[in-house]
Amino acid sequence: MERVGFIGLGTMGEHMARNLLRAGFPLTVFNRTASKAEALHAEGAAVGASPREVAERSDVVITMVRDTPDVEAVLFGGRGVAEAAHPGLLAIDMSTISPDATRRLAERATAAGFEMVDAPVSGGPSGAESASLSIMIGGAEAAVARAMPIFRALGKTIVHIGGHGAGQVCKLANQICVAVNNLGTSEALVFAARQGIDLERTRQVIAAGAGSSWSMQNSAPKMLAGDFRPGFSIDLQQKDLRLVLDAADAGHTPLPGAALVHALYNALQAEGRGGESTLALITVLERRAGVQARV
């Protein structure tokens, strides 16, 4: 089996790395906060001192970090992956970053002597833990085929979208749906609360009908319970929506729904709530309606 390196052991990355270890891949991990690698080390993973050291020990290096500058730093910064480029090295970026930047990074990787694939994911921490992620892939056919055994250890829906950057474009399209569905669910529940009807019964019937969505089925119960503990945070959603809106502006594409959700999340960030779950969006509407949608 290919030797795999995994860089970025956050909420998603730790689960993903553990699934690779369980699937039998020889694994070397790195995280900027070294203590986050301790649990995986105890389970059998090696720990690298830098991205360069991870690349030296690996045939395939996966990055799962926060934003475009972080991916660039891991790949091409000091003690980065590029410093240990060797024949056959494949870098798979599973972060959510700019599609244009992804294409540029792929070109730099080729010039540095290694290959790159973009493979962002959807499914959240629960999907990462259960190895049921949806994986959207951009890159060359041969590189994607080579990476398939790794992807199968991480997800269930695995689709090669197209060339470099295509995976990131698909992920941003996904994030538009996530954001707008979250707003639709929030509006429906606040409307029902203002009208005084039973909220859980309302949720159940909508979730079973034409108005259903993943948000209504899975997020609405947490909204109704007032559970806004960090899962996928507002700050991360805002990063993704900014990528969406930047790409939309460059292509003169009107996205009024995504822009509205971004503005509403700005209000929560201004209150210092950026670390809360994206489900806290409902509280902005509740305040304006003068009602709480809770059961």
> Which CATH number goes with the domain that contains 148?
3.40.50.720
Question: Would residue 236 count as lying in a domain?
Answer: yes
Residue 69: count of CB within 10 angstroms of its CB: 12
In this structure, the answer to whether residues 277 and 184 fall within a common structural domain is yes
The verdict on residue 247 lying in a domain is: yes
pLDDT at 231: 82
Mean pLDDT of successive 10-residue stretches along the chain, which has 295 residues: 97 97 98 96 98 98 97 98 98 98 98 98 95 98 98 98 98 98 98 98 98 97 95 94 98 98 98 97 98 97
- Which of 110, 136, 163 is where one domain is finished? 163
* 222 is annotated as an active-site residue: no
Q: Quote the CA–CA distance of 22 and 19 in Å, as a whole number.
A: 5
The answer as to whether 53 is a domain residue is yes
Q: The domain containing residue 261 runs over which residues?
A: 170-289
Q: Which among 156, 171, 222, 239 is annotated as catalytic?
A: 171
Domain count, the chain: 2
Give a yes or no: residue 294 inside a domain.
Answer: no
Contact 62, 90 (CB under 8 A): no
Residue 123: inside a domain: yes
Q: Which of 105, 134, 163 is the last residue of a domain?
A: 163
- C-alpha span between 138 and 93 (Å, rounded): 10
43 plus 87 within the same structural domain: yes
**CATH number, domain containing residue 185:** 1.10.1040.10
Report pLDDT for 149.
98
